[in-house]
Structure 1
């Protein structure tokens, strides 16, 4: 079946079937895989991609209406980036527990309430990474516990200023831009969040 736009309506007509998998590289954090796949038209192709354990990003809402951000040097692109707090999932870790841990370790803050806003796939062409997006409020400041070799600075800003940074190209991190979309819509009352007390 084909839609009015000429595109197939049936997802099954688009799916590639894996025939073979090869592990090209195994690192301490990421792995590179190469699959040979059967294409929908019967042909074959190879797909190289990064296997990622998944991650969590947190939008921390301060009581004065500002949001908490981090500035961190990212080696692959050689720049200090402005980002919301985030970190990778440990094996078997619950995403909320990961978000609580990352917020506490990187910023020193704990939160009274949390809300899950869903998940995003930031690099669908070449990575399995899924990032779980959480909002946190009722923040209480404490002591940071950065990982060895981790260096970052904390800052706070308004949504309006963060929007200006995105417009001007100062914020280009995809997860932070996706969080900003959520933040705008939540603050405008367009998208609802299901707030819950933080588990002990």
Structure 2
């Protein structure tokens, strides 16, 4: 298989949508839609008490508030670590003394090229939130093992948060 042509059919503020023409084999060609995204970062902040800091915000895809780890979109050419540290402080008010990359993943590889870089942050220092004009976020803290259990009870459904919490548990041997 190979990409023959890409046509941008929608240009948006956060992502674009392309219609790709894909050659399956010499005799077969098909069209696929693809969401084009600059990528993002997400960070699992862990307090000295072993609590994970989650943000609660409204998401229109679920039409309700959801619990998530802090995250944000990469600017074109931006270093993922720089973005993760910025989003941590903007959304939670915390700064991290120690940060480690956990992994990188495609958030929805079946229809998007968004690559998400996941970090864990420890040795946190409390500061002040710097929310965007359109952000309404509250902060909640949970013991890491409780947050892990919230995944399996269905209270946490966001994919980056699920991968982030489980990766943090693995990384911290919890």
Q: TM-score, normalised by structure 2?
A: 0.96
Residue 78 of structure 2: which of 68, 89, 93 is its match? 93
| Equivalence for 1:194 | none
Q: Deviations over 1:42-100 (max 9, x none)?
A: 41111101001100000111001111111111012212111100000011111000011
Whose strand proportion is higher, 1 or 2? 2
Q: Deviations over 1:10-45 (max 9, x none)?
A: xxxxxx211111111001111000011101464111
Matches within 5 A, 1:39-188: 39-40=24-25, 42-188=27-173
Larger Cα Rg: Structure 1 or Structure 2?
1
Following the alignment from structure 2 to structure 1, what is the Cα–Cα distance between the partners of residues 151 and 68?
11
Runs (4 or more) in structure 1 with deviation over 2 Å come to none
Following the alignment from structure 1 to structure 2, what is the Cα–Cα distance between the partners of residues 64 and 23?
48
Residue 29 of structure 1: which of 10, 14, 20 is its match? 14
What stretches of structure 2 of length at least 5 have no aligned partner?
none
Shift of 1:160: 1.8
Following the alignment from structure 1 to structure 2, what is the Cα–Cα distance between the partners of residues 163 and 96?
24
Following the alignment from structure 1 to structure 2, what is the Cα–Cα distance between the partners of residues 20 and 186?
41
SS in 1 for 2:155: coil
Shift of 1:180: 1.9
Q: TM-score, normalised by structure 1?
A: 0.84
Q: Deviations over 1:129-166 (max 9, x none)?
A: 00001111110001110011111100110122112211
SS in 2 for 1:77: coil
Structure number with the bigger relative contact order (C-alpha 8 A, sep ≥ 6) is 2
Shift of 1:177: 0.7
Following the alignment from structure 1 to structure 2, what is the Cα–Cα distance between the partners of residues 28 and 167?
34
Q: May I ask how many residue pairs the two structures share in their alignment?
A: 174
Shift of 1:118: 1.8
